[in-house]
């Protein structure tokens, strides 16, 4: 019970050292459930990473054009086939509505805009409700950070004018939810993760939406989500082995927001930094890999299935993630449960798919579940692709000490503390964006 509570208050949801400690000291039953989870660096298996520059047919790649035309495409397909699944193209009919606009929001500091993206073929049921805060009094287009939130737009700020989400929430009944629906008490609950004022002060806008607008985050959520409704064979009650998983569906949703941003006269659509935490960090990485319009890609504590190397099997493993979250990846990914070495890809290749765009990987020291070392190593092993583009990627070979950001086109830091998004993380992302958007 105490384990459940502490996980709950940690909110998103990988065990911190604290929870592991509480858990280990309280419940023998839970210890049994953790069987097969390794937190010992000495027990990481020997592994060989798939080669970045060797094509499936054995041909070596040494030129940028070969990477872009052949190998990058091949790697992208491998990730689709074995891990995230194949996603459909942009729907033909999409409509945008302004739900609300206040040019004098947050005591005159911001323009607040709420936009509805209606995916034509499927109607209002899958409306994406997008919240934008833009710096007030700016007469030119602004760069933005964009990312999903876990609990509805109303959680990111106490601003009472934000529309309260009506969508299904993972949280069932608690002080802010009744039967999986948010109540007024949920306003501002996640505001520590969204330093809106700082982002505005630094000259950026913020664009966010609830990931559950695309699809509810539960095993059978796809039946109530965009995946069922865009399924070619609607009669089938089951997804095919290569059909997209929920992470791909959420990533696809981010691309639909990008489509909208390209039409918004206040936003620099060529300067969008897509950022996500944890499962939504996995999502932003896949969005950045599959849609090159995202100028910067940021992964905050994304762990297994995100930035962390799968072959290390440290903390959360493929088997564990496929068991607890069977809907996140495509069915083929289950072939690699306790069988990591057979994967034709690993996550350094996902980072490499961003090249030469800037990408940032952030870890937290107490978030062993997400394997901080595995996240660092992915970033490091992506370096050769940046070199191919005559850029320095990470540029270091040792994981830096606590709170010591490193890297050029690949940024990395190991923040002290638990699985979370903090002001420290945002400070690094803002600095990184300033640097790459040539603002300083
Ligand atoms: C955990 C899951 C992780 C991570 C996290 C989160 O329970 O095991 O992969 O994504 O949830 O999204 O907070």
Full-model pTM:
0.93
257, 209 contact by CB (below 8 A)? yes
- The response to whether residue 316 sits with its C-beta less than 6 Å from ligand 1 reads yes
Residue 24 has what pLDDT? 35
DSSP label of 58: S
Per-residue pLDDT, 10: 34
Please give the pLDDT value at position 125: 85
**Minimal-distance CA residue to ligand 1 atom 13:** 12
Q: What is the pLDDT of residues 336-366, one digit of tens each?
A: 999 999 999 999 999 999 999 999 999 999 9
Q: Ligand 1 pocket: which of 211, 325, 366 to mutate (most atoms <8 Å of CB)?
A: 325
Nearest CA to ligand 1 atom 2: 14
Distances (CA, A) of 318 to 233, 328, 342: 29, 11, 12
Which residues of the chain carry a pLDDT beneath 70?
1-34, 234-235, 439-440
Pairwise CA distance, residues 187 & 184, whole Å: 6
Summarised one tens digit per residue, pLDDT across range 406-435 is: 999 999 999 999 999 999 999 999 999 999
Per-residue pLDDT, 42:
98
* Cα of 241 from ligand 1 centre, angstroms: 23
- The domain spans of the chain are 2-84+302-419, 94-269
Residue 237 has what pLDDT?
A: 78
Query: Residue 52: which of 330, 350, 405 has the closest Cα?
Result: 350
- Spatial CB neighbours of 38, under 8 Å, sequence gap ≥ 6: 44, 313, 314, 315
In degrees and rounded to multiples of 5, residue 26 shows phi and psi of -105, -45
Catalytic-role residue among 6, 278, 310, 363: 278
Ligand 1, atom 12: nearest CA belongs to which residue?
Answer: 279
Distance, in Å, from the CA atom of 417 to the CA atom of 301, rounded to the nearest integer, reads: 11
Q: Is 365 exposed, middle or buried (0-12, 13-18, 19+ CB in 10 A)?
A: middle
Specify whether 277 is catalytic.
no
314, two tokens: 């440290």
Asked if residue 367 has its Cβ within 6 Å of ligand 1, the reply is no
Dmax (CA) for the chain in angstroms is: 61
Could you confirm whether 87 is annotated as catalytic? no
| Other beta carbons less than 10 A from residue 372's beta carbon | 26
DSSP string, 390-420: T--SS--SS---TT--B-SSEEEEEESSSSS
Q: How far is the CA of 330 from the centre of ligand 1 (A)?
A: 17
What pLDDT does residue 70 have?
97
Say if residues 399 and 372 touch (Cβ distance below 8 Å): yes
Residues 6+ apart with CB under 8 A from 242: 80, 81, 85, 86, 330, 331, 332
CA-nearest of 242, 425, 344 to 412 is: 425
Predicted local confidence at residue 210, as pLDDT? 98
Q: Looking at the CA of residue 305, tell me the nearest atom of ligand 1.
A: 9
DSSP structure string for 67-132: IIIIIHHHHHHHHIIIII-B-----S-EEEEEEEEEEEHHHHTEEEEEEEEEEGGGGGGG-EEEEE
């Amino acid at each position: 019970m105490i384990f459940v509570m502490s996980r709950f208050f940690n909110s998103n949801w990988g065990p911190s050292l604290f929870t592991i400690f509480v858990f280990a000291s309280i419940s023998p039953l839970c210890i049994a459930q953790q069987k097969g989870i390794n937190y010992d660096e000495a027990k990481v298996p020997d592994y060989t990473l798939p080669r970045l520059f060797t094509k499936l047919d054995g041909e070596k790649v040494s030129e940028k054009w070969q990477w872009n035309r052949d190998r990058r495409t091949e790697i992208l397909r491998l990730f689709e086939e074995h891990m995230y699944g194949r996603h459909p193209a942009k729907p033909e009919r999409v409509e945008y509505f302004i739900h609300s606009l206040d040019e004098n929001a947050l005591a005159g500091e911001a323009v607040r805009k709420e936009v509805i993206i209606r995916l034509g073929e499927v109607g209002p049921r899958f409306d994406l409700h997008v919240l934008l805060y833009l710096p007030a009094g700016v007469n030119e287009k602004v760069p933005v950070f964009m990312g999903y939130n876990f609990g509805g737009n109303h959680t990111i700020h106490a601003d009472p004018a934000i529309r309260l989400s009506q969508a299904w929430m993972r949280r069932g009944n608690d002080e802010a939810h009744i039967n999986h629906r948010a109540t007024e008490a949920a306003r501002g609950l996640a505001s520590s993760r969204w330093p809106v004022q700082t982002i505005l002060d630094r000259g950026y806008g913020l664009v966010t939406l609830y990931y559950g607008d695309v699809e509810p985050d539960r095993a059978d959520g796809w039946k109530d989500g965009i995946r069922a409704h865009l399924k070619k064979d609607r009669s089938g009650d089951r997804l095919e082995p290569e059909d997209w998983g929920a992470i791909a569906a959420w990533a696809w949703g981010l691309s639909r927001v990008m489509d909208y941003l390209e039409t918004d006269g206040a936003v620099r659509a060529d300067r969008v930094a897509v950022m996500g935490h944890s499962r939504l960090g996995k999502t932003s990485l896949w969005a950045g890999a599959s849609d090159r319009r995202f100028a910067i890609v940021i992964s905050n504590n994304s762990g297994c299935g995100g930035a962390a190397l799968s072959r290390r099997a440290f903390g959360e493993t493929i088997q564990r993630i496929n068991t607890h979250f069977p809907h996140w990846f495509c069915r083929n990914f289950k072939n690699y449960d306790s069988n990591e070495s057979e994967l034709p890809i690993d996550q350094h290749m996902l980072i490499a798919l961003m090249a030469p765009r800037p990408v940032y990987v952030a870890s937290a020291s107490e978030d062993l579940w997400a394997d901080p070392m595995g996240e660092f190593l992915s970033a490091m092993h992506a370096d050769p692709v940046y070199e191919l583009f005559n850029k320095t990627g990470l540029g270091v070979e040792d994981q830096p000490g606590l709170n010591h950001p490193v890297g050029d086109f690949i940024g990395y830091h190991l923040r002290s503390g638990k699985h979370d998004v903090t002001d420290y993380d945002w400070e690094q992302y803002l600095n990184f964006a300033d640097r790459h958007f040539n603002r300083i």
